[in-house]
Structure 1
Amino acid sequence: MLKNALLTLLSLAIAIGLGGGSVWYTLDAQSGAGAIRIGPWTAFPDIGTLDADPYSQARVARQGALTLGRAEGLSFIAETDSRGEDLLRECSYTIEGGFPTARFWTLYVADQALDPIASGRPHRAVLHSHEILRQPDNSSVITVAPNAAPGNWLPISGSGPLRFVMNFYDTPIAASTGLSDVKLPTIVRTGCNG
């Protein structure tokens, strides 16, 4: 009798542990139901709408985030560079290319919970479309590094994983038909400390 009770408790502990772990992993993953992937960037276009899948709704509830509705804009997140390697704070990156049409956009460095990372300097670790320096072809080159760089620079400090978050506000790409031909900047690792 005691053997059956212990086996039942062990089975329940394994089932609850594996079930909870799989849900936790799914809510942290930047893929899955409703995800749109463009190079290293991932977006969930339906996340702020009534059409959002249950996992997206749970992700928003767990993070306590305010999401953008389809008419308001779209948020893209990158957790790897263009070669598929994880983004790390101890490395330097170049984000290069054109940005889709939007009334306003922001780019910032975030931790795994998508909270902005403090740069450790007076300069904020965020850039927006009104302050960005552009190339003659209207593209941009942004350096993400611990040390100051000429041009567009996002400072980072510390060690561990990071994510890049791009928010586009009042943009036609938020419409369901606008995502098929969107081009987003590439993310290239240029070096690492240590």
Structure 2
Amino acid sequence: MPKTYSDKEKEYIKIQLKKAAVECMTLYGVKKTTVDELVKKVNIPKGTFYLFYDSKELLLFDAINELHNELEKQFLQNLNLLSDQMDVDKLTDLLCDMIRQVDNTYLLKILTSGDMELIMRKLPDEVVEKHLTQDDFNTEKLFSFIPKAKDKNVEAFSGALRGAFLTLLYKREIGEEIFEKSLKLMIRGIILQLME
């Protein structure tokens, strides 16, 4: 019979599993991260892992999504501070800063190694769809700060911003010395179209 855990214990285990997931993804990558390694780091029985997650990919995605949500929350807070003085340059700088923050996390390594694709392929369709819908919803939040954006296509702009973000994968090919300027041009172009 499986052990029962209090709500406090469940919360603690879930936090520790996500920390272990980040550590393992960073050290070993997705392929070499195993449920055995994760439960060893958290000091729980293997069966307990499956009380929390149906697969290691769901845990890894949950950990990645948590970082994504933290960065987005910070972005929206900064956006809120700018709301009275919103202009193309300030919004461009804010979006570029967010992308720079991502560049300084483990997330870029996951994206550039192809590990994110491995995770996404093994996720249930509804989890992937929910994630993409959440991105569109957050673009809608951005739109709410820009009066002229209300008639724009949220999905198209959400996709364009995702595309600009994904240029991080090609930083070397673009040229590291001009990457910042190139990224700023792309973001500025999107923002100009959004605010026109």
TM over 0.5: no
Q: Relative contact order (alpha carbons < 8 A, sep ≥ 6): 1 or 2 greater? A: 1
Taking structure 2 as the reference length, the TM-score comes to: 0.31
Greater share of helix residues, 1 or 2?
2
